[in-house]
Each structure stands twice: as structure tokens, then as C-alpha cells.
Structure 1
Amino acid sequence: MKKINQIIIPLCLMFALFSCGKGFLESTPKAQITDDQLLTTKAVNNALVGAYALVNGNINGTWGNYSTAPSQWLFGEVAADDAHKGSSNADQSPMNDIELHKVNPTNDNLPTMWNNYYEGVIRCNLTLRLLAKVQATDQDDKFSDEEAKLIEAQAKFLRAHYYFFLIRVFGNEIPYIDESITSTADAAKVPNDADITPKIEQDLQFAVTNLTYDKPGGQAGRVDKYAAESYLGKVYLYEKKYDQALPLFKDVITRKPALTSIPFTDNFDVNKENGPGSIFAAQHLINPDGSGDNGNIGDMLSGFYGNAPVNCCGFFQPSVDLANAYKVDANGLPYLDPADYRANPYKSDVGLSGSAKENYKVDQNLRVDPRLDYTIGRRGVPFKDWGIFPGDAWIREAAFGGPFVSKKQMIDKADFGGNSVPGTPQITSLNVNIIRLADVYLMAAECAAQTNDLTYALNRVNDVRKRAALLPALKIGGTPAAKYLVKTYPSFASKEYAMKAIEMERRLELALEGHRFYDLVRWGIAKTVIESYQKFETNYVSASQPLTFEDRDKIFPIPQQQIDRSGGVLQQNIAGK
């Protein structure tokens, strides 16, 4: 089964303290439900489906869930150096403050992120409480011990995921609410005075111990031991526990097919979802009635504009800096110093006017990594099966957001039927990979480099690059659209060089997938990179401004409405002070 129970089970368990949001679980109760009615295995399974539902970041409807996108395009990419908010200055203007790191606690993207992912936590807690009650009864309708462990492991994995997404945005000290808290009053008394990362680790370790490499119930959208090992390794990596993370990544890599046997394009193909390269993904589909609240609504703003096949809404535009990062030297290796790839910058048709603009032709002698044209839409280059990307005609305001568009969130026109909402084709059924196999390879490489196993680090980076070299050339009139070239590194001479290569490879491979800002922060280079980027980008895109990146900008403020509602229990973090 492609998704989890097709994600449309009519359910909303309004019991104990918390309520499920509408949207994913479309119906609401018509009468009071008693505890006894909920003490069934069916109720537990339905609660678990509800817990999975929030992986797509949506509680209700379609519009308005942009900051909670599982792709984390806003906090993870626009806040970094990979992308601009796009669209126009006035549209969703609070997002401009995220791009420029001028965020205050009343920014309307913050409560959406906070509320939606805490809703995910609540649903996990609900599942765990119900499971414990069912298993404690003497009734016949209960799970075997093995089944109960699988359910508990999935719920705890999901809870860890929701908390991890929250701490990357708001910092490690946020309220930790678990299944033991059974009233609103008690939940409101939970302070944010301790690092909750050990709790996240604990949940993921339980998942690693109790999940198997087979999908529970054979359902492709469920989490398994691969996902649990990868996620626990990722949390360890963020904590710089490299020795603990590396064996987890190695186990996944050893058991999975070779990365070079899995095409790069499979990661963004609606027809090849949940394949061996997908470790943990948000499952999306278009409902049978054609509605899209179970679709990829978090990325819906990244549709195009004007006369494009999808002409809403013009957000999430790759930066000029990102496009130039794909340039390679004569040996097919990337330039690791921004000063090198920014020299004689490629900027598409920015700054041209009149006949020069009208008659612009793409430079097919540009020497680049082929992943450029599978990540970024460039004027004069084919865009999927939509035709040649015409530039401004598909962009809402090029002077503001730049000349490029994002490719990874879009599906082929040939796949619109059944995979996009009629009349709103920017909402699709394309899954979003939260962790994919190449990410695991590069996290393993990083751990190896940090522990001075430079040979292992080199081999894993080169595996990613070998796969990139297999990408077919995009062509214009039968001729490649660029001088595509990507080669492997001959060696890593030092730990420092290895880390620079790994940092660049993560950018090239995972661009526009929500990792970049969090990577810059954990590497300790956010200030240097973002300040330099904004200064460079002001030459081409009016959305950019020279700025000073402060320590406080490494996270985002806790929403002011949550501070106010807590009655003094919650303390604002450094970003909101």
C-alpha cells in the first residue's frame, strides 16, 4: 500500500485532554465518546494513523501551513543561502523577516510551526496512553506483546521526530509533554527549563530496539528500523556524538542497495516513491474527492506564475549563489571557496533589458555539476516535461526573488491527473523525503571525517558524486544545456579539507530539501556564510540586504502567544529577547 491506510481513515479521537485537528482526519465527533468505547485495538490503530498524519505538517485545510512543510523550505532554506522567499515583497511579508533574520515573537509563521508539531506530539501521546490502557485490560481485544511493541515504537519515533523539528527551530529548551500528562492544566505547568534532546534520544533508541527492517503491516509509509537508526544517528550527529552515530549510519548503508543503483531522480518522482532511497518520508496523496489536505500542501506556494502550467504562487526561488555553487573546475570538482565560484558569476538574464533580454540565450559552455539542472529551473533549459523554461514569464517578480525556480517540488505535467488537485495543481501527491539514503551517506562521511577515518569519508562522498555523474544531460536542440562534469575526489588530505568537501556536497546533493540552515548552525559557520551570501546576493536580487547575523539568530523566538498563554511558565528564548 503506497500510503498509510491511504491516509483517509475517518477519525478524530477527542478523548483525554487533547483534540485532533480536523483536516487529515476529516470528521469530528457527533457525541461524547466514553473511555470504554476507546479501549479497542481499532481505536489504538486509528490513533496511530492520526499520529502519522501530522508528518505532512497539516492540521486543517490546505492554505496556511507553509512554515510547517516537511521540506522545511522556509526555516531550513530561505533562512540560509539556498533560496529566497520569492513572490513579491508584500505577499506573506513576515517571511521576509525570516530570510533577513529580523524575526520577532509575533511573526505569524512561528505559532503555526509550534502548534502543528505539538499537535503531532499530542497525537503520539494519545496513542501511547490508549495502547497502555488496552493492554492493561483483561479483555480479549488486545495486542500481542510483539504488536504492542511495534505500535509503541512507531508512536515514539514520531514523537521524537516532532520534537526534533521543534527544537531545531525554537531551541533545545521547550516544554516536554509526554503521555503521563493527562490534563490541560498540567500541560500548562510544564516549563521550558531543560534540554529535551535526551528525551528525543530515548524515544528513538526504543524505536531502534523494537522496530524491524520490514515495514509494519507491509505498509510502505510506516517507519522501520532503517528510519529509526538514521534518525537516531542524525540526532547524535547534531550533538557531535560522532562515535555513536557512525555505526547506525553504517548499518543502514550496508543493508541498503548501493546508492549508485538508485537514480537521483527517483527521489522526486511521484511514480517511484518509497523506494530503497527513501528512508523516512512524508506521505502525500490527493483524496478520492480531489481535495488536497493530505497532499503536499506545505510546498504549495512554490508553484510558478504567469503562463506556467502551475501559476501559483511564485515563492521559494533558488538563490543566484546556489546556482553558482554548482560550477566545477576542470577536474570536475566543486569550488569550495565561495570567492572562486562567485568569480565571473552566472546570473541568467539578470540585469539585461531590451533586445539583450529578449534575445537571451543560455550559455551552453557553462561547466557545471549536472545536479544544477535537476534542482534549479534556468531560463533556456528544459523544465521537466513542461518545455523550455522561459524565465520571467513563469516568475512572479524576478527583480525581487531572482531569475530561478525550484524543481524538486514539482511533478511532470503528464502526472497531474490523479496527482494534483484539479484547479489547484500546485498541491500534489509528491512525497517529501525527510531523510533519504544520500543524506545518510553524507552524515556517515561527516562522522567518519570527524573521527579521522578519512578513507571512509572519501568513499561515501565519492559514492554520492558517482551517482550524480550518471544523470543524463538535459539538451537543447540535441545539444547538452551545459558542459556537465562531475568527478570524484582523489583524496582527502586532511580533516579540515574533508569537512569542507562534505559541507559542499551536502549543499549540492540536498539543496532545497530543508537541511541547509540547520547544517550551517550546527557547523558553527552560519554567521560567516549568511553574511557573505547576503552581501553577494544584493547585486542581483532586491530581496537580499547586507545584515549582521547574531548568535540569537541561530534559532527563532517562541511564539509570543504561547508565552502569554502560559501565564509566566514559559520563558522566551534568546531569539525573542
Structure 2
Amino acid sequence: MKKLLIASSSLLFFTLIFTMCKRQLDLKPLGELTEQTFYQTEGDFEAASLSPYATLLTYYFDQMGNGWYQPVLWPDDDVTVRSNGNDDIEDFNWLPGNGNFTSMWQTSYKGVQRANVILEQLPKAEKFADVSKKVRFEAEAKFMRAYFNFVLAVNWGTPPLVTSTVKSVDQTRLPNSQPGEIWDLIVADLTFAKQNLPATWNSANTGRATSGSASGLLGRVLLYRAQWENKPALYTAADAEFTSIISSNRYNLRPNFADNFALATENNSESLFEIQFALGRGNNWFPNEDGGGSGTGRYIMWRAACEQGICADGANAVGYGFMHAVKPLQDAFEPNDPRRVQTIFREGDPFPSTATPIFKAAWSVTGSTPSKYVLGDKTGNEINGQPNMGVNNERVLRYADILLMSAECKILGPTMDLAGAAALINRVRRRADPTGNILADRPATASKDQMFKFLMQERRVELAFEGHRYNDLVRWHRAGLINIKTDINFGRTPANNNWNVRNLLKPIPQRELDLNNNLKQNPGY
């Protein structure tokens, strides 16, 4: 099976390369696997269906954070760069030539292409013992296509919409999609996926998307769209997805907040979807295309290193110290909030090192670095003995986020339910502090404006470093709920000074514009 999985991954990769060629080479296949011979049986599609998942690994692989951590986390008001560096992404000097944006764009379209290959080949398959099983592969591919298109939509607004495999150079020269067009496809794909994916998988298929994954992502999409497009009715539609997840009793908050970021408690009952990391060929989602395994560069990016001439144990071997928690995030935690020590290190906190087991503020330009995932990644002094490679899964969608998004819909939707919103926010707070002695319940009698402030604060401290914060700021700005320029402190003067409305979207990569004269740049770039 492993050989079959690897062969199918290679086949899909080379299919993408060859279909991009302008000239069609009249050569006989050098191997036995072709589009005509491979995409036939259920086993073929079991293997092929994993190729879009494998693309997710490429976002995270680079140990410098290129492709995901830098373009996703630098813009938010949670982290800043080390003291001896200036970063164009962090400081909102966004240029079309930025390699991080290009990497995210290309990886996303590679994922779309791989999903489209499956969707085109599935109707042609003639050797299924049970043709009714085709619908599950269709649902899985549509979930993955929606995931990649969502990344494209929230980052670039109206990127080209690709609904079929690219077979010629001319087909790569697509114009920008029309406003709302890519969102329509995302909603349609996720609706199909939630109706046709299983609720659970067996242990051999851990990590595959479920109906809950699709419903949760669909709810997020509808919430974003309600705010991006000023469509209040979509709050109701979004909350219907969240409510169905909550009432299913399939998921629950883990008693220990830290379980969501520990290697030993991956894929737990709070998780709706995770990106599965593992070293080498041990990952069911295949080795990463970059050739170095299927881990994440998170640990080397986040772990404390050297500042002010003082170095943390293992600096520049198991940690470069590229990300530091800004003062506004540090101050966002209520006094003694139990989540704080599981999210950021501060002076005197336990640190994952046998040589220096206490965190020193002097290691950080802000006095603090992320502890989320870092504490849960460690095995001894490194991660599984692999210095520059993390294997702790990325939690993409978890139940606490579902509860808070549902609360947001109840605050902002046409049928306001502030008491219901307070109850959901308090569930998240009570998990962090079961006794309620530290984090008092939010009052159901609070005003709409005050309840929304409670919601914003709770999302910030509960979901810090999980890749949602800048998207939250953008959608709230678009909805007129905040003004990023005046209301947000990025913890760094250049970022505060440079942020502009153009930064609601990222610049379309210059390389794409050079190759495609039908593509138009986003405003302001």
C-alpha cells in the first residue's frame, strides 16, 4: 500500500507538470500508471485522495516559516520579529515580489489542481466494486478544494477560479474571479462534503476530513462572508452549522486546555480538523514534496533563542527565536488566566530545557515568546530527537473556536441572543478555569457592544498563534466593527504607522502577473 500511495503521489505531481506544457509530446508512457490505467478502482482513489492532503504539509514545512507562519502570523498583533531584524510582512511593506506570498499562492493552487484531478477522473472510473462509494471520494476532494480556495479568497479576494484541471498554457491565463464567485464554489463544495463525508474514520484513516470538519469550515466561511459582503442573514446560516455541531455531542472541550497543543493528545475530542505531521515516510499523507519529510518548521521559528547577548539553551540549534509575543497580547490575558502559561513564556515560567528549565525574559525582545505547541512538542530537549522538525499536528479547527464563532453570530446576527452568546463564551472560560475563581462569567445582561468586546478578547487569548487573528481583524474591519488603523496596536511602531486599507488583501504575486496579462493586481499595490 505504501508503494502505491507514493506512486500515486508522484503520478499526480507529474500530471500537473506535463499538463502545464504548451506542446503535447507524443510519447508512450514510460511506466504502467497513466490517467487511463490508474484512476479505475476504489484502491486507486484511496491512494489518490491523499494527494491534496499532502499539499497542506507544504504550507508548513519550511523551517524559516516561509509559506505559512510568516505570511499568516507576522501581520497580526500577537507576534513581532526579533530585535535585529526588519520584516516587510510584519511592517506592512507588502510587495508583489514577496516570496512568502508567492509560496502560499502556488501551494494553494497546487492543492486545487490535485482536488480537480480526482473530481475529473472519478466519473470515468469503471472498476469500482460498489459505485456508490464514489460519492465519498467526491466529497473529500470537494472539502479539500474548498479549503484551498478559502485560503485564496481570504488572502487575495478575487483570485482566479479554477474548476477543472489545467491542460494547456492558455488555460493558466485566467482572469480574476468575479466578486463572490469563489465564495459560492466554496459554499457549494462544503455543503456537498458535509452531506456525504462520514462522521468518523477508523484509526487507519486518522486525519481525513469528516462531516464535522466540513460543517465547521462551512460555518466559518459563512461567518466571514456575512462580514466581508455585509449580508447579515448569513450570520443565521453560519450559526445553524455551529449549532448542529454543538447539538451533535460529537465534540467537547478537553478538561485541560494544553491537550490541544500536545504531541501526546493529537486528534482528540476537541479537534474537528488537524494537519497531520510525522517524520519521513511515516506520515499517511505522504512525504512532503520538498523532500525533507512531513514535519513543521514551527518549533524552530517559535522557540526562544538569543537577545541582548544572552542565549536560551539550544538557541540556533533547536530554536531561532523569530517570533516574540508583543506586549498587547501579554496584557490581553486577565491576571492569572491559566491559559497564559500555556500560550506565552514570561520570566520565571518553566521552559522545556534540562540545562535551563526556567524562562528568562532577556531571551526575548518583548520579554516573552510563544509556549503554545512548544511545551507540547518537547521530548527531552528536542522534538523526537529531530532538532529542526516539529511533528506536533497543526490544529486547524477546534471546538472552542466553534463555540466562540456561534457566540459571535448570536451577538451580531439579526436575531440577537446575548444570553446565549454569554453562555457559550463562559463555557470556554470555565474550561480554562473550572471553579470560576479566576475568570468570572461574562454577564448575560451586558450590552451588545460590551458582549462583542468580551467575544473579541476571548478569541484573542484562546486562539493566539493559531492563525486566525489577522483574519479576525480584517473581517471585523470590513464589517465596520473596528477600525484597524485606530483601534489595533500591533506592538511595533512601523507596523502601526504603515498599516493601510490595502493590507486587507495581499498583493497578487508579480510572477503571476508577468505570466498572465488577464490578471489584475489588488488595489493599492
For this structure pair, what is the TM-score category when the shorter chain's length is used for normalisation? 0.7 to 0.9
Q: SS where residue 162 of structure 2 aligns?
A: coil
The one of 538, 544, 551 aligned to 2:501: 551
Q: How does the TM-score come out when normalised to structure 1?
A: 0.77
- Residue in structure 2 matched with residue 248 of structure 1 by the alignment: 241
Aligned 1:127-526 pairs, distance under 5 A:
127-134=118-125, 137=126, 141-142=127-128, 144-171=130-157, 173-179=158-164, 181-195=165-179, 196-215=182-201, 219-240=205-226, 241-256=234-249, 259-287=252-280, 293-297=293-297, 300-305=300-305, 306-309=311-314, 311-327=318-334, 367-384=335-352, 387-392=357-362, 394-395=363-364, 398=365, 402-412=366-376, 415=379, 419-420=383-384, 422=386, 425-451=387-413, 452-470=416-434, 485-524=438-477
Separation in 1 of the partners of 2:91 and 2:435?
35
Separation in 1 of the partners of 2:5 and 2:349?
39
Separation in 1 of the partners of 2:379 and 2:259?
14
Call closer, same or farther: CA 1:143–1:571 in 2, change over 3 Å: farther
Separation in 1 of the partners of 2:346 and 2:333?
13
Separation in 1 of the partners of 2:487 and 2:38?
56
- Alpha-carbon shift at residue 382 of structure 1 (Å): 1.3
Separation in 2 of the partners of 1:212 and 1:535?
41
- Residue in structure 2 matched with residue 18 of structure 1 by the alignment: 16
Contact 1:14 1:33 in 2 (8 A): no
Call closer, same or farther: CA 1:385–1:63 in 2, change over 3 Å: closer
Contact 2:302 2:322 in 1 (8 A): yes
- Alpha-carbon shift at residue 32 of structure 1 (Å): 7.6
* Equivalent AA in structure 1 for residue 242 of structure 2: F
Alignment pair present for 1:119 and 2:110: yes
- Residue in structure 2 matched with residue 68 of structure 1 by the alignment: 67
Call closer, same or farther: CA 1:127–1:418 in 2, change over 3 Å: farther
Call closer, same or farther: CA 1:546–1:278 in 2, change over 3 Å: closer
Report Cα offsets for 1:64-120 as digits up to 9, x if no partner.
Answer: 6x2433xxx43343212111133631xxx5xx1111111011112111111111111
- Alpha-carbon shift at residue 217 of structure 1 (Å): 7.7
* Equivalent AA in structure 1 for residue 313 of structure 2: A
Separation in 2 of the partners of 1:261 and 1:380?
27
How many residues of Structure 1 are paired with residues of Structure 2 in the alignment?
Answer: 484
Separation in 1 of the partners of 2:395 and 2:236?
26
Moved over 6 A (4+): 4-8
Let me know the Cα RMSD of the aligned residues: 3.1
- Alpha-carbon shift at residue 419 of structure 1 (Å): 4.9
- Alpha-carbon shift at residue 16 of structure 1 (Å): 8.3
Separation in 1 of the partners of 2:215 and 2:183?
16
Separation in 1 of the partners of 2:451 and 2:40?
54
Report Cα offsets for 1:426-468 as digits up to 9, x if no partner.
Answer: 4111001111110000000001111311121111000000011
Separation in 1 of the partners of 2:156 and 2:312?
39
Contact 1:8 1:287 in 2 (8 A): no
Call closer, same or farther: CA 1:471–1:198 in 2, change over 3 Å: farther
Report Cα offsets for 1:502-537 as digits up to 9, x if no partner.
Answer: 111100100111111110110116974455554864
Q: SS where residue 464 of structure 1 aligns?
A: helix
- Alpha-carbon shift at residue 55 of structure 1 (Å): 1.9
Call closer, same or farther: CA 1:552–1:15 in 2, change over 3 Å: closer
Contact 1:213 1:225 in 2 (8 A): yes
- Alpha-carbon shift at residue 186 of structure 1 (Å): 4.2
Aligned-residue sequence identity (percent) comes to 29
- Alpha-carbon shift at residue 490 of structure 1 (Å): 2.3
Structure 2: any 5+ residue segments left out of the alignment?
A: 19-28, 227-233, 306-310
Alignment pair present for 1:569 and 2:518: yes
Call closer, same or farther: CA 1:292–1:416 in 2, change over 3 Å: farther
Aligned 1:101-112 pairs, distance under 5 A:
101-112=92-103
- Alpha-carbon shift at residue 213 of structure 1 (Å): 1.2
Separation in 2 of the partners of 1:564 and 1:516?
32
Q: SS where residue 112 of structure 1 aligns?
A: helix
Call closer, same or farther: CA 1:499–1:99 in 2, change over 3 Å: same
Contact 1:216 1:224 in 2 (8 A): no
Contact 1:304 1:311 in 2 (8 A): no
- Residue in structure 1 matched with residue 23 of structure 2 by the alignment: none
Separation in 1 of the partners of 2:505 and 2:189?
23
Call closer, same or farther: CA 1:283–1:418 in 2, change over 3 Å: farther
Separation in 1 of the partners of 2:401 and 2:519?
35
Q: SS where residue 435 of structure 1 aligns?
A: strand
Contact 1:421 1:427 in 2 (8 A): no
Alignment pair present for 1:50 and 2:51: yes
Segment drifting more, 279-288 vs 259-268: 259-268
Q: SS where residue 315 of structure 1 aligns?
A: coil
